[in-house]
Chains A and B, each alone.
Chain A
Amino acid sequence: MPRLLKTHYSAVVTVNGHVHRLTVPGHERLLTTLRERLHLFSARYGCGTGHCGACVVLVNEEPVPSCLLLTVRQQKNRIQTLEGLKKDSLLAQLMTSFAEEHAAQCGYCTPGLLLSARHLLKTCPSATESQLREELSSHICRCTGYYAPLRAIAKVRDSYAVD
Chain B
Amino acid sequence: MRMWPLSTYPRYAPDWLDLHPEALIGGILEAPAAPARCAIDNLEELRGLPGVETILTASEVPCYPFTTAGQPEPEPSPYDTLILNPLSRYPGEPVALMAASSLDALYHIRQRAKITYEPWYGPLHDQHPNNVAEAVHYSSGPAAPSEADSERFKTTIHVGRVSHMQLEPHAAMCSFDEENRLVIITTTQVPYHVRRIVARALNCPVSRILVKATDVGGGFGGKQEVIVEPWVAILAVKTGKPVKMMLSRRQEFILTRTRHAATLTVESQWHGRQIREIAMSADVETGPYASHGSTVAHNMGLKSLPLYRAEAYHFNASVRYTPGPVAGAMRGYGGPQGAMAVETHLNQVAARKGLSPWCLRHKVLAQTGDALDIFTAASSFKRIHHTNLRNLLSRTRDAIGEGSPMATGEGIGLAMSMQASGVPGSELAEVSIGVDEDGSLFVKTGAIDIGQGARETLSNIIYDALQLPRGHVPISFSMGQTQDFGFDYGTYASSTTYVSGLAAYKAAGIVRRKMESLARSMMRHSELKDTPLSECWTALAHSSFYGPRRHPVMGHAVARPSDSPAPYAIAAVRLTVHDNGELVIHHIVIGVDAGKPINPRGFRGQIEGAVIQGLGYALWEELELDHSDTHVLNPSLFDYALPAPQDIPPLDIIMAQTEDPTTPLGAKSVGEVALAPIAPAIVGAIFRARGIWMRTLPITREKLWNALMAQRETVTPS
Interface: B9 (CB within 8 A): yes
A95:B3 contact, CB within 8 angstroms? yes
A57, chain B: closest CB distance, angstroms: 12
Interface: B627 (CB within 8 A): no
A44-B14, A95-B6, A142-B613 in contact; A106/B217 too (CB < 8 A)? yes
A106:B167 contact, CB within 8 angstroms? yes
- The CA-CA distance from A102 to B670 in the complex, in Å, is 15
B646 is contacted by which of A7, A35, A47, A134 (Cβ under 8 Å)?
A134
- The CA-CA distance from A83 to B6 in the complex, in Å, is 11
A143-B605, A146-B645, A147-B651 in contact; A44/B217 too (CB < 8 A)? yes
B18:A46 contact, CB within 8 angstroms? no
A36 is contacted by which of B18, B215, B605 (Cβ under 8 Å)?
B18
A104-B2, A133-B646, A137-B645 in contact; A52/B609 too (CB < 8 A)? no
Interface core residue of A98, A105, A130 (most chain B CB under 10 Å): A105
A140:B637 contact, CB within 8 angstroms? yes
Chain A residue nearest to B604 (CB atoms) is A102
B638:A105 contact, CB within 8 angstroms? no
Chain B interface size range:
35 or more
B673, chain A: closest CB distance, angstroms: 15
A45-B14, A109-B167, A147-B608 in contact; A102/B453 too (CB < 8 A)? yes
Interface: B65 (CB within 8 A): no
Chain A interface size range:
35 or more
Interface: B49 (CB within 8 A): yes
Question: Which A residues are in CB contact (< 8 Å) with B337?
Answer: none
Interface: B619 (CB within 8 A): no
A102-B604, A143-B218 in contact; A48/B248 too (CB < 8 A)? yes
Kindly identify, within residues 134 to 152 of chain A, every residue whose CB is under 8 Å from any CB belonging to chain B: 134, 136-137, 140-148, 150
- The CA-CA distance from A49 to B638 in the complex, in Å, is 8
Chain B 35-58, CB within 8 Å of chain A: the 1/0 string?
Answer: 000000000000011100000000
A1-B48, A142-B166, A142-B167 in contact; A148/B605 too (CB < 8 A)? yes
A136:B9 contact, CB within 8 angstroms? no
Interface: B168 (CB within 8 A): yes
- The CA-CA distance from A40 to B21 in the complex, in Å, is 15
Question: Which A residues are in CB contact (< 8 Å) with B216?
Answer: 106
Interface: A17 (CB within 8 A): no
A129, chain B: closest CB distance, angstroms: 10
Interface: A124 (CB within 8 A): no
Interface: B655 (CB within 8 A): no
- The CA-CA distance from A107 to B2 in the complex, in Å, is 10
B201, chain A: closest CB distance, angstroms: 27
- The CA-CA distance from A25 to B112 in the complex, in Å, is 21
A111:B14 contact, CB within 8 angstroms? no
Question: Which A residues are in CB contact (< 8 Å) with B10?
Answer: 39, 41
Kindly identify, within residues 176 to 228 of chain B, every residue whose CB is under 8 Å from any CB belonging to chain A: 215-220
B220:A142 contact, CB within 8 angstroms? yes
Chain A residue nearest to B611 (CB atoms) is A145
List 15 contacting pairs A-B, 8 Å CB cutoff, sorted by A: A36-B18, A46-B169, A48-B248, A52-B249, A52-B637, A82-B8, A105-B5, A106-B166, A107-B215, A108-B168, A110-B6, A142-B218, A143-B609, A145-B610, A146-B648
Of all A-B residue pairs in the complex, the 6 with the closest CB atoms, nearest first, are A107-B5, A145-B612, A108-B217, A106-B451, A105-B451, A51-B637
